[in-house]
């Protein structure tokens, strides 16, 4: 279940630390006096003179080309209405965040205290030298139309009112796909549109340019239906005024094919949806509350294709899918405007992208096994990393073809690569695992809570809503460490296994442990005594369900931490051993490496077991494992025992799971070089595969490899991840950083979500 956002969560999020959501960060070194004399006086005078000589140089020497202004006067903020410029600022800052994370565009949000069209236009015009583009936001109609029209004419940089065109573009893409699924032609479809403001008018105009017929629209504003009898309609509303006799939304929806809501929440009823034509399409896009809830609409009609503007339901039709990429494309070719051709290019790019296979990372982000084009997936998901490299080039190309690009692109492959680098594909997995963890935070026991790094990590995971920390150790010591270092963990649960308060729990845990180990060398006295030890106590909390996961090992040797976990919790059903895995975030996507921490010199059988454990874990991230079992030789080129062991292990794996994509023994470089592999070993299973998993022949190789990738290549990593345990226990490497600890907690929480879900499934299965 997604965590419900409550008022306090949202307020705390905005207020904590540095208030608001954005800051300005220098992009050049500013460490030395030399740096500062370049950044500012006297060095800064040189670019000034170059720009004075040729104003185009402003794109070369300043941030203008990547800087967009998000400008609002707060008169139509989301569906909250005219709440004023200051009250709209959190939304504008939020838009800035989305521009940055989805398209690496920098934003200044600007809130103007004016409702006067002339004044608004004058102010924005005067700011043209600063920005590469202007995103107008949440300005009410009809003023927004005049403001945008004038700025588009009078400025030489792209201007787009996102609520109009962003919404129109995204909903058009969704509409084309929905109509394709229900096999209806756009020129025959009957539309009912609630709302006749900025978003709604732009939508109907774009639908019309895609083939919808104006006479097939019935629109409503807050005073009722737009019809020919109304004398109060402006020119734009008149264009879509109906000659039909209907007066109410309920009448209009009878037999309608498509409902488009861009008005206010909860104005459409189940009965209205029931009265629509076969296979109705309902886009209830008011934010934050749609015109009709997802549940009510799908309950009312099994054949409905339903979309809302919200992220917590399928089919999120929201302009976040558009503005980052539309501006990216426009800025990258220095387009002087965002024209119809560019908008239509974005529509088709989005619609087509939905039909192509969804990458693993998107399935993982949304906890889906396999998203496929269909009624519940008519538009790409906002976390789809392909959006940038698909929509931005389409927009850029359309700008070039329609003659508004001042800096055309010539090398499209290089451009796409640049876009992927901008996004930092390497960070995608972290973001996705993070969002999954945050959806359902779990109780994580930190066995070494009297360590400063652990406390800092516990604070981070608590503040970020990733986990509910349980701190094990001496309470006085932990509290004084927190006080000395300004660490605050709300409602910190501190448990001291050695304390008198815990004696009953120690006793209970000791008895349970004794039952597990009584014939394995523990007597009752020893079993109870050992519960004073934090790793045993913590593992017992996880074993008994009093916590969901355990993190330990920062200050102790690996074997000393893994032993209690194996004795108390043990391996998962079917596992013959445990193994350690690292995830390395590379530019080509996540790379899974094993065994990095547990098995020193595995036999072929053991290596096969490790491979199976890793394959299972990789699948848990909804990623299909494509495994190279690496060595120093390729497919028998060396007959040494080490190389042959890997080859034998691969044969065993293949027998265990013939469907698994796995090959070896193979050199690591060969595994990543499809061309050379194809030329030399065309039989290999990996010739058409992007390898994402490396199994090393022994611990030395695996451990050295991940350390080098981390330290020398500078890749971020998550690990070690302990595989094969019945319940989530993860053992840190000595000296892990706070960030690495937080990353392991993320994994532990996701692991707990999955294992708990499996346990429930098993229980339910047994009940049946
Ligand atoms: N999902 C998405 O991506 C987006 C969603 N939106 C949502 O769309 C809505 C409108 O935004 P926007 O167009 O920018 O705002 P505007 O203020 O420009 O338009 C609002 C429109 O809704 C009409 N309206 C208000 N109440 C009713 C009602 N009870 N019945 C019928 N019509 C009504 C208004 O009528 P009148 O003309 O008479 O004032 C006006 O035409 C908001 O909820 C916003 O959050 C907006 C942009 C993107
Ligand atoms: C999504 C958006 O821009 C709005 O609701 O106003
Ligand atoms: Mg908006």
Give the DSSP letter string of 361-411: HHHHHTT-S---SBTTBSS--TT-THHHHHHHHHHHHHHHHTT-BSS----
Distance CA(322)–CA(390), nearest Å, equals 11
| Residue minimizing CA distance to atom 4 of ligand 2 | 78
Task: Determine the atom of ligand 1 nearest the C-alpha atom of 263.
Answer: 22
Residue in the structure block whose two tokens are 């025959």: 188
DSSP-derived 3-state class of residue 203 = helix
Helix H or strand E segment including 707: helix 699-711
Residue 737, pLDDT > 90, answer no
Task: Determine the atom of ligand 1 nearest the C-alpha atom of 285.
Answer: 1
pLDDT of residue 4: 55
pLDDT of residue 559: 85
384 Cα–ligand 2 center, Å: 20
The mean per-residue pLDDT over the stretch 655-671 comes to 97
pLDDT of residue 433: 85
Write down the ipTM of this complex.
0.98
Nearest Cα neighbor of 525 from 542, 513, 537 is 513
183 Cα–ligand 1 center, Å: 29
The hierarchical CATH code for the domain 165-423 is 3.40.50.720
- 579-724: CATH topology: Rossmann fold (3.40.50)
User: Which of 164, 239, 263 has most ligand 1 atoms within 8 Å of its beta carbon, as the pocket-test mutant?
Assistant: 263
Which are the contacts of 343, defined by CB distance < 8 A and separation ≥ 6? 165, 168, 169, 206, 326
Q: Write the DSSP symbol of residue 91.
A: H
Ligand that lies nearest to the alpha carbon of residue 202, given by its number in the listed order: 1
Q: What's CA 112's distance to the chain center, in Å?
A: 31
User: Which of 135, 148, 175, 199 has most ligand 1 atoms within 8 Å of its beta carbon, as the pocket-test mutant?
Assistant: 199
6 Cα–ligand 1 center, Å: 24
507 Cα–ligand 3 center, Å: 59
Q: How many CB atoms lie within 10 A of CB 79?
A: 18
At 749-762, the pLDDT tens digits run 999 998 776 666 66
Which are the contacts of 15, defined by CB distance < 8 A and separation ≥ 6? none
Task: Determine the atom of ligand 2 nearest the C-alpha atom of 77.
Answer: 6
Is any ligand 2 atom within 6 A of the Cβ of residue 242?
no
Is any ligand 2 atom within 6 A of the Cβ of residue 164?
no
Residue in the structure block whose two tokens are 């004016």: 114
Is any ligand 2 atom within 6 A of the Cβ of residue 163?
yes
CA distances from 503 to 161, 445, 544, 645, 768 (A): 65, 18, 16, 51, 40
Helix H or strand E segment including 99: helix 85-103
* Tokens representing residue 154 in the block: 């009078």
| Residue minimizing CA distance to atom 19 of ligand 1 | 197
| Residue minimizing CA distance to atom 2 of ligand 2 | 78
Write the burial class of residue 605 (CB in 10 Å: 0-12 exposed, 13-18 middle, 19+ buried). Answer: middle
121 Cα–ligand 3 center, Å: 19
Q: How many CB atoms lie within 10 A of CB 234?
A: 12
Same fold, 7-25+37-157 and 579-724: yes
pLDDT of residue 757: 64
Ligand that lies nearest to the alpha carbon of residue 287, given by its number in the listed order: 1
**Strand arrangement of the beta sheet that strand 442-446 belongs to:** 493-495, 467-472, 442-446, 549-552, 729-731
Distance CA(467)–CA(440), nearest Å, equals 8
At 478-514, the pLDDT tens digits run 999 999 888 888 878 999 999 999 999 999 999 999 9
pLDDT of residue 3: 47
Nearest Cα neighbor of 479 from 505, 500, 458, 509 is 458
Is any ligand 2 atom within 6 A of the Cβ of residue 257?
no
User: Which of 138, 198, 307 has most ligand 2 atoms within 8 Å of its beta carbon, as the pocket-test mutant?
Assistant: 138
**Strand arrangement of the beta sheet that strand 281-284 belongs to:** 224-225, 217-221, 191-194, 258-261, 281-284, 305-308
DSSP-derived 3-state class of residue 495 = strand
The mean per-residue pLDDT over the stretch 628-649 comes to 97
Nearest Cα neighbor of 244 from 258, 259, 235, 256 is 256
Ligand that lies nearest to the alpha carbon of residue 172, given by its number in the listed order: 1
CA distances from 609 to 627, 652, 654 (A): 14, 9, 11
Task: Determine the atom of ligand 1 nearest the C-alpha atom of 79.
Answer: 43
240 Cα–ligand 1 center, Å: 16
Nearest Cα neighbor of 409 from 331, 343, 326, 323 is 331
Query: What dihedral do alpha carbons 403, 404, 406, 410 form, nearest 10°?
Result: -60
Helix H or strand E segment including 642: helix 641-656
The hierarchical CATH code for the domain 434-568 is 3.40.50.10950
Does CATH number 3.40.50.10380 belong to domain 7-25+37-157?
A: yes
Q: Are 726 and 569 in contact (CB under 8 A)?
A: yes
Range ranked top by mean pLDDT from 329-333, 485-489, 491-495, 575-579: 329-333
pLDDT of residue 425: 52
CA distances from 463 to 16, 113, 469, 675 (A): 9, 34, 10, 47
Which are the contacts of 279, defined by CB distance < 8 A and separation ≥ 6? 182, 184, 257, 303, 304, 305
pLDDT of residue 1: 34
At 103-114, the pLDDT tens digits run 999 999 999 999
Residue-by-residue DSSP string for 330-372:
HHHTTBS---HHHHHHHHHHHHHHHHSPPPHHHHHHTT-S---
On average, the pLDDT of the chain sits at 93
Residue 2, pLDDT > 60, answer no
What pLDDT band is residue 243 in, cutting at 50, 70 and 90?
A: very high
Is any ligand 2 atom within 6 A of the Cβ of residue 318?
yes
Identify any residues that bridge with 662 across adjacent strands, giving them in sequence order.
627
Task: Determine the atom of ligand 1 nearest the C-alpha atom of 76.
Answer: 17
* Tokens representing residue 192 in the block: 């009912």
Find the farthest-apart pair of alpha carbons in the chain and give their distance in angstroms, rounded: 92
Distance CA(722)–CA(598), nearest Å, equals 9
* Tokens representing residue 569 in the block: 């919790």
User: Which of 80, 201, 222 has most ligand 1 atoms within 8 Å of its beta carbon, as the pocket-test mutant?
Assistant: 222
* Tokens representing residue 230 in the block: 């109304």
Ligand that lies nearest to the alpha carbon of residue 319, given by its number in the listed order: 1
CA-angle at 596, arms to 611 and 586, nearest 5°? 90
Is any ligand 2 atom within 6 A of the Cβ of residue 316?
no
Ligand 1 pocket residues where CB is under 6 Å? 76, 78-79, 140-141, 163, 167, 194-200, 220-223, 262-264, 267, 285-287, 309, 317-319
| Residue minimizing CA distance to atom 47 of ligand 1 | 163
347 Cα–ligand 1 center, Å: 22
CA distances from 119 to 54, 481, 591 (A): 30, 56, 54
Q: Are 502 and 475 in contact (CB under 8 A)?
A: no
Higher local confidence (pLDDT), 589 or 587: 589
pLDDT of residue 427: 60
Pair type for strands 191-194 and 258-261: parallel
CA-angle at 72, arms to 70 and 73, nearest 5°? 160
Phi, psi dihedral angles at 296 (to 5 degrees): -65, -45
Is any ligand 2 atom within 6 A of the Cβ of residue 78?
yes
| Residue minimizing CA distance to atom 16 of ligand 1 | 197
| Residue minimizing CA distance to atom 3 of ligand 2 | 163
Is any ligand 2 atom within 6 A of the Cβ of residue 319?
yes
Q: Are 624 and 672 in contact (CB under 8 A)?
A: no
| Residue minimizing CA distance to atom 5 of ligand 2 | 78
Kindly list the catalytic residues.
40, 95
Distance CA(600)–CA(518), nearest Å, equals 29
Task: Determine the atom of ligand 1 nearest the C-alpha atom of 200.
Answer: 13
Task: Determine the atom of ligand 2 nearest the C-alpha atom of 137.
Answer: 3
CA-angle at 313, arms to 79 and 356, nearest 5°? 115
Is any ligand 2 atom within 6 A of the Cβ of residue 135?
no
Distance CA(714)–CA(536), nearest Å, equals 35
Q: Are 252 and 225 in contact (CB under 8 A)?
A: yes
User: Which of 197, 223, 225, 267 has most ligand 1 atoms within 8 Å of its beta carbon, as the pocket-test mutant?
Assistant: 197
Beta strands (DSSP E) in 608-668 are 626-630, 661-666
Helix H or strand E segment including 279: none
CA distances from 58 to 6, 45, 386, 407 (A): 45, 13, 31, 14
Write the burial class of residue 664 (CB in 10 Å: 0-12 exposed, 13-18 middle, 19+ buried). Answer: buried
The mean per-residue pLDDT over the stretch 735-764 comes to 82
pLDDT of residue 758: 64
State yes or no: cis peptide before 720, omega within 30 of 0.
yes
Ligand that lies nearest to the alpha carbon of residue 168, given by its number in the listed order: 1
Distance CA(10)–CA(31), nearest Å, equals 36
* Domain boundaries of the chain, sorted by first residue: 7-25+37-157, 165-423, 434-568, 579-724
Residue 768, pLDDT > 60, answer no
Distance CA(577)–CA(570), nearest Å, equals 10
* Tokens representing residue 189 in the block: 């479809």
Is any ligand 2 atom within 6 A of the Cβ of residue 101?
no
Q: What share of the chain is helix, strand, coil (3-state, %, to 5)?
A: 50, 15, 35
Helix H or strand E segment including 260: strand 258-261
* Tokens representing residue 126 in the block: 């005067």
């Amino acid at each position: 279940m997604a965590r419900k956002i409550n008022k306090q969560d949202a307020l705390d999020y905005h207020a904590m630390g540095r208030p608001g959501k954005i800051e300005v960060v220098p992009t050049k070194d500013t460490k030395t006096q030399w740096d500062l004399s370049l950044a500012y006086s006297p060095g800064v005078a040189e670019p000034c003179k170059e720009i004075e000589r040729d104003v185009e140089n402003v794109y070369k020497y300043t941030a203008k080309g990547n800087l967009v202004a998000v400008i609002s006067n707060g008169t139509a903020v989301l569906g909250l209405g005219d709440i004023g410029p200051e009250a709209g600022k959190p939304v504008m800052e939020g838009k800035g965040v989305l521009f940055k994370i989805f398209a690496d565009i920098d934003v200044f949000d600007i809130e103007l205290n004016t409702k006067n069209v002339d004044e608004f236009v004058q102010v924005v015009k005067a700011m043209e030298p600063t920005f590469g583009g202007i995103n107008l936001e949440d300005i009410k109609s009809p003023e927004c139309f005049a403001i945008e029209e004038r700025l588009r004419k009078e400025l030489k940089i792209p201007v787009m009112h996102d609520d109009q065109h962003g919404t129109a573009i995204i909903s058009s893409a969704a509409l084309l796909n929905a109509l394709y699924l229900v096999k209806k032609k756009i020129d025959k479809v009957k539309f009912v549109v609630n709302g006749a403001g900025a978003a709604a008018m732009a939508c109907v105009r774009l639908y019309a340019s895609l083939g919808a017929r104006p006479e097939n629209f019935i629109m409503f504003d807050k005073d009722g239906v737009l019809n020919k009898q109304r004398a109060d309609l402006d020119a734009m509303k008149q264009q879509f005024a109906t000659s039909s006799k209907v007066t109410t939304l309920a009448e209009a929806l009878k037999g309608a094919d498509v409902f488009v809501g861009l008005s206010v929440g909860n104005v459409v009823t189940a009965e209205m949806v029931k009265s629509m034509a076969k296979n109705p399409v309902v886009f209830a896009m008011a934010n934050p509350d749609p015109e009709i809830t997802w549940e009510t609409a799908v309950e009312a009609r099994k054949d409905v294709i339903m979309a809302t503007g919200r992220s917590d339901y399928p089919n999120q039709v929201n302009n976040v899918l558009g503005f980052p990429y539309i501006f990216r494309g426009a800025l990258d070719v220095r387009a002087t405007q965002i024209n119809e051709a560019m908008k239509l290019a974005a529509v088709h790019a989005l619609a087509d992208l939905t039909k192509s296979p969804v990458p693993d990372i998107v399935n993982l982000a949304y906890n889906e096994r396999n998203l496929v084009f269909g009624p519940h997936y008519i538009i790409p998901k906002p976390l789809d990393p392909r959006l940038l490299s698909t929509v931005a080039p389409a927009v850029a190309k359309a700008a070039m073809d329609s003659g508004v690009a001042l800096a055309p692109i010539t090398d499209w492959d290089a451009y796409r690569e640049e876009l992927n680098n901008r996004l930092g594909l390497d960070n995608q997995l972290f973001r996705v695992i993070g969002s999954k963890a945050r959806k359902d935070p779990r109780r994580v026991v930190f066995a070494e809570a009297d360590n400063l790094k652990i406390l800092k990590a516990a604070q981070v995971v608590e503040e970020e809503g990733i986990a509910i920390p349980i701190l094990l150790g001496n309470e006085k010591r932990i509290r004084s460490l927190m006080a000395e270092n300004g660490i605050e963990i709300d409602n910190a649960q501190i448990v001291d296994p050695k304390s008198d308060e815990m004696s009953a729990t120690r006793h209970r845990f000791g008895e349970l442990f004794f039952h597990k180990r009584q014939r394995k060398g523990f007597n009752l006295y020893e079993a109870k005594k050992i519960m004073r030890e934090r790793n045993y106590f913590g593992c017992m909390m996880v074993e008994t369900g009093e916590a969901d996961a355990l993190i330990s090992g920062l200050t102790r040797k690996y074997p000393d931490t893994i032993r209690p976990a194996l004795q108390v919790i043990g391996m998962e059903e079917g596992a013959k051993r445990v193994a350690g895995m690292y995830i390395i975030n590379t530019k080509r996507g996540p790379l899974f490496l094993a065994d990095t921490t547990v098995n020193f010199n595995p036999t072929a059988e053991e290596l096969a077991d490790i491979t199976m454990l890793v394959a299972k874990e990789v699948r848990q991230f909804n990623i299909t494992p494509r495994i190279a079992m690496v060595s120093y030789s390729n497919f028998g080129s060396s007959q040494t025992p080490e190389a042959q062991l890997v080859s034998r292990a691969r044969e065993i794996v293949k027998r265990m799971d013939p469907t698994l994509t796995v090959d070896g023994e193979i050199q690591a470089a060969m595994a990543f070089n499809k061309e050379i592999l194809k030329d030399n070993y065309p039989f290999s299973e990996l010739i058409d595969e992007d390898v994402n998993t490396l199994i090393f022949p022994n611990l030395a190789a695996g451990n050295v490899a991940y350390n080098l990738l981390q330290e020398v290549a500078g890749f971020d990593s998550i690990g070690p991840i302990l595989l094969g345990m019945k319940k989530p226990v993860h053992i840190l490497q000595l000296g892990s950083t706070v960030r690495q600890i937080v990353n392991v907690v993320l994994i532990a929480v996701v692991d707990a979500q999955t294992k708990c879900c499996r346990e429930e499934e098993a229980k339910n299965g047994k009940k049946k």
